[in-house]
Structure 1
Amino acid sequence: MFLTPDELLELTDFKTSRKQLEWLRANGYPFAIGGHGRPKVLRDVMLARCGSQAATQRPRVRLP
């Protein structure tokens, strides 16, 4: 669902929420701001931006 605080730190290389928000804006990542003022980034968004095949594959429905 959302990146963990450690994953967000790894993505942005910043520990403070203010710097993470600046980095996310500068790099065009969509995010929401949680109740504590911390950015929330969807895991699927990060995977798609980093070129993961898992993020681009969709489940297939097989009809009889």
Structure 2
Amino acid sequence: MTVLTALGALPLWARVLLPALVYLAVLFTAGLLAERSGSPLPGVVVLQLIAPVCWAVGGLVVL
């Protein structure tokens, strides 16, 4: 069983909520990276790279 198949078995509300939770976790981690480095650049770069991936995977899961 692949991950997408397993996620497809989840109820619709969970398939919608899961990407949002992943996105918030990444946002929190990016904020910690930015705070730790003293510059917002690392956190912003990480967030810009990972956010579209989170929403793309979330879109596939919802379908």
TM-score by length of 2: 0.27
Higher RCO, Cα 8 Å, sep 6+: 2
More strand by share: 1
TM-score by length of 1: 0.27
